[in-house]
Amino acid sequence: MSLNSVVIVGAGHGGVQVAISLRQAGFAGRIALINDEPGLPYQRPPLSKAYLLGKINETAMIFRPATFYAEQRIDHVHDRASAIDRQNRRVLLESGATLDYDHLVLATGAHNRPLNVPGSGLAGVYGIKTKADADALAPLLKRSKHVVVIGAGFIGLEFAAVAAAEGAAVEVLELGDRPMARAISPQMSQLFREAHEGWGVKFNFRTGVAALEGEGGQVATVTTSDGRHLPADLVVFGIGVIPNVQLALEAGLDIDNGIRVSPGLLTSDPHISALGDAAAFPCVHNGEKLTRLESVQNAVDQGKQVAARLTGKPAPYAALPWFWTDQGSLKLQIAGLSIGSDNYVTVGDVAARQMSVLCFRGEELIAVESCNRPGDHIFGRKILARPPALTPAVAAAAGFDLKAWEAANRP
């Protein structure tokens, strides 16, 4: 079947990448990019940090200017997909319009897990997912004296660092017993805990939120699960995301903690691909287990892979996952997936907060976490992309240097 029309649902990192890569590969057919947010497609990472602090403006966040989409003949459609007619290969839009496709790409992303406690509908309570969220939050942040952050994950802590830098008293509530427990080693958690505490952030571990109370419709107090009352003129929650699978589910596609896709990122319908935060794929870096990753890298690399397949270069998706977060003066970069790691070797200068943690599962290196050691991150990515070789014993030896080891052990 010839491919004349590709419709992409979702204009985040993954969706935009598919469109760009299709044109770079010479695809000459129609590309429609459906965006359910106003304005030009933009990058989300700065929303919880640089954009909030006013360090970068809106223009610096967009992927491409309007002229790019026009020149590349990428139809930027401001609408929302409401249904997929798989029989007729047609997407129905909320406006009533329809788009016919030869191939459909679902890059629908994820939405914030809502905060379901009494009072969560009060003014001054925010999740951060869209530019509209950040725009609404930014002026409030400037005049807030007491900020409560619910959830000590990446987004919550990025925001906590921003709020502390803006001079607010910041309390973080976290059900777990350390920061970013789902994503990083205990050693790296400890470094970030101490750094945040140094910036004035107060952690409340093993603590949830029981209720939010307000005055005149505006949040004023957070009642914790252990019965304390914390003053709050701003509450930001970052308690995880839920993949946007509704469209796929209603279309009868297989769903399993995300839109289920093959190693090549095809859904259970050969005319539909899915990628990014919304897709669960068999991950070679996670024992082929069905895995859903929430990251820029994953969305971008999967977008490239889907575009390559559609232009005649199919391959199973195998890119090494990597992540980053900027919190205050600290840049944490993670290469690989540390799921199941049980053995950690620390290198660098902990006191200076320039530290890497090599995460092993048994004898096998599976992830490298680097705080303000970007060189280690780059070497880690190279080493992890090769057959396993670096052992915990070698890494733990005095004077071990990732760069020197990488140079000496090139295949």
Partner 1 sequence: MPTITFIEHNGTAHQVKADVGQSAMQAATFAGVPGIAADCGGACACATCHAYVDDAWVGRFPPAEETERDMLENAIDRLENSRLSCQLVIGADMDGLTLRLPESQF
> Which of the stretches 93-101, 217-225, 263-271, 324-332 binds partner 1 when contact is defined by CB under 8 A?
324-332
Q: Total number of residues binding partner 1 (CB under 8 A)?
A: 34
71 contributes a contact to partner 1 by CB under 8 A: yes
CB neighbourhood size of 97 (10 A): 10
- The helix (H) or strand (E) run that includes residue 146 is strand 146-150
CB of residue 67 to partner 1, shortest distance in Å: 8
Could you say which of 4, 28, 58, 65 contacts partner 1 (CB under 8 A)? 65
**Cβ contact 285:317 at 8 Å:** no
Q: Is residue 300 within the footprint of partner 1 (CB under 8 A)?
A: yes
* Structure tokens belonging to residue 366: 């599976």
Structure tokens at 363: 């004898």
Q: Which stretch binds partner 1 (CB under 8 A): 89-97, 135-143, 369-377, 386-394?
A: 369-377
Query: What's the closest the beta carbon of residue 326 comes to partner 1, in angstroms?
Result: 7
Assess contact for 89 and 102: CB atoms under 8 A.
Answer: yes
| 219 in Cβ contact with 126 (< 8 Å) | no
Question: Counting contacts by CB under 8 A, is residue 45 touching partner 1?
Answer: yes
406 binds partner 1 (CB under 8 A): yes
Q: Which amino acid is at 220?
A: A
For partner 1, give the closer residue by CB, 71 or 85: 71
Instruction: For residues 206 and 186, give the distance between their C-alpha atoms in angstroms, rounded to a whole number.
Output: 16
| Spatial contact of 95 and 6, defined as CB atoms under 8 Å apart | no
Span 109-128, contacts to partner 1 by CB under 8 A? none
* 252 vs 375, beta carbon nearer partner 1: 375
Using CB under 8 A as the binding rule, whether residue 43 contacts partner 1 is answered as: yes
269: buried, middle or exposed (CB in 10 Å: 19+, 13-18, 0-12)? middle
Considering beta carbons, is residue 72 or 223 the nearer one to partner 1?
72
Of the candidate residues 250, 375, 386, 409, the single one contacting partner 1 (CB under 8 A): 375
382 touching partner 1, by CB under 8 A: yes
Residue 372 contacts partner 1 per CB under 8 A: yes
Count CB neighbours of 303 within 10 A. 28
Phi-psi category of residue 246: left, alpha or beta, with phi > 0 → left and psi -120 to 50 → alpha: alpha
- Output the smallest distance, CB 356 to partner 1, in A: 11
What's the residue count for the chain? 411
Residue 237 interacting with partner 1 (CB under 8 A): no
Residue 341's nearest CA partner among 183, 209, 215 is 183
User: Cβ distance 282 to 292 under 8 Å?
Assistant: no
Q: Name which of 113 and 382 has its Cβ closer to partner 1.
A: 382
Among 296, 307, 359, 365, binds partner 1 (CB under 8 A): 296
Q: Is 68 in the site for partner 1 (CB under 8 A)?
A: yes
Tell me which of 36, 174, 326, 369 binds partner 1, using CB under 8 A. Answer: 326
CB of 75 to partner 1, least distance (A): 16
Cα(182)–Cα(156) distance, integer angstroms: 13
**Residue 331 in contact with partner 1, rule: CB under 8 A:** yes
Could you say whether residue 409 binds partner 1 (CB under 8 A)? no
CB of 191 to partner 1, least distance (A): 17
- Segment interacting with partner 1, rule: CB under 8 A, options 121-129, 238-246, 247-255, 377-385: 377-385
Distances (CA, A) of 251 to 96, 102, 258, 303: 18, 16, 14, 22
With beta carbons less than 8 A apart as the criterion, state whether 110 and 279 touch. Answer: no
Helix residue ranges per DSSP H, 199-258 = 246-250
Q: Burial of 186 by CB count in 10 Å (0-12 exposed, 13-18 middle, 19+ buried)?
A: exposed
Binding part of the chain for partner 1, among 90-98, 209-217, 285-293, 322-330 by CB under 8 A, reads 322-330
By CB under 8 A, name the one of 30, 64, 78, 80 that touches partner 1. 64
Q: Within positions 131 to 160, which residues make up the interface with partner 1, using CB under 8 A?
A: none
Binding site for partner 1 (CB under 8 A): 20, 23-24, 43, 45-46, 60-61, 63-65, 68, 71-72, 296-297, 300-301, 322, 324, 326, 331, 333, 372-375, 377-379, 381-382, 403, 406
